[in-house]
């Protein structure tokens, strides 16, 4: 456990505690298993592998992936949804090239909030799933 006197941030292995004279904020780091659990929580979702890394599919179509090093994930958003998430949190950034232009959004797990990831993956799932599954 380390306390940085300048920033008043208390660091404990993977989770981070932020100190303020009034409140202590707890900010856990999202793990690949937590990302996986959220992705697999949607109906008819299955995990497969694509180009050496895990992906998550509904009706055979990819809506999310985990990077090969499992430090980041990707959600298949619309460009409009992507812009909303880019404004929401620094954990979200566009994927490179055409993938990013089409809404592919990288999520840095160490910076990600669980609720934001759950909402982004829900949007990605809905963008990809057949309408009959979305009821």
Read off the pLDDT of residues 25-52 as tens digits, 9 standing for 90 and up. Answer: 555 689 999 999 999 999 999 999 988 8
Whether the pLDDT of residue 1 is over 70: the answer is no
Q: What percent of the chain has pLDDT over 90?
A: 73
Q: Whole-prediction pTM value?
A: 0.79
Tell me, yes or no, whether 89 and 41 share the same domain.
yes
Long-range contacts, stretch 53-62, CB < 8 angstroms, 24+ apart: 58/125, 58/128, 58/129, 58/130, 58/133, 59/128, 59/129, 59/130, 59/133, 61/128, 62/128
Q: How many independent structural domains does the chain possess? A: 2
Tell me, yes or no, whether 51 and 19 share the same domain.
no
Tell me, yes or no, whether 107 and 61 share the same domain.
yes
Range of the domain at 22: 1-28
Tell me, yes or no, whether 60 and 3 share the same domain.
no
Question: What is the reported pLDDT for 8?
Answer: 47
Tell me, yes or no, whether 12 and 42 share the same domain.
no
Question: What is the reported pLDDT for 21?
Answer: 56
Higher pLDDT: 70 or 13? It is 70
Tell me, yes or no, whether 120 and 77 share the same domain.
yes
């Amino acid at each position: 456990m380390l306390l940085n006197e300048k920033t008043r941030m208390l660091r404990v292995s993977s989770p981070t505690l932020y100190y303020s004279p009034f409140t202590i904020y707890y900010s856990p780091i999202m793990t690949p298993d937590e990302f996986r659990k959220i992705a697999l929580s949607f109906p008819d979702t299955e995990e497969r592998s694509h180009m050496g890394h895990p992906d998550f599919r509904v009706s055979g179509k990819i809506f999310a992936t985990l990077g090969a090093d499992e430090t980041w994930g990707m959600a298949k958003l619309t460009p409009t949804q992507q812009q909303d998430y880019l404004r929401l949190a620094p954990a979200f950034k566009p994927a490179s090239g055409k993938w990013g232009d089409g809404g592919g959004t990288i999520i840095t797990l160490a910076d990600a909030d669980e609720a934001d990831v759950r909402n982004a993956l829900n949007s990605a799932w809905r963008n990809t799933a057949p309408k009959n599954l979305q009821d």
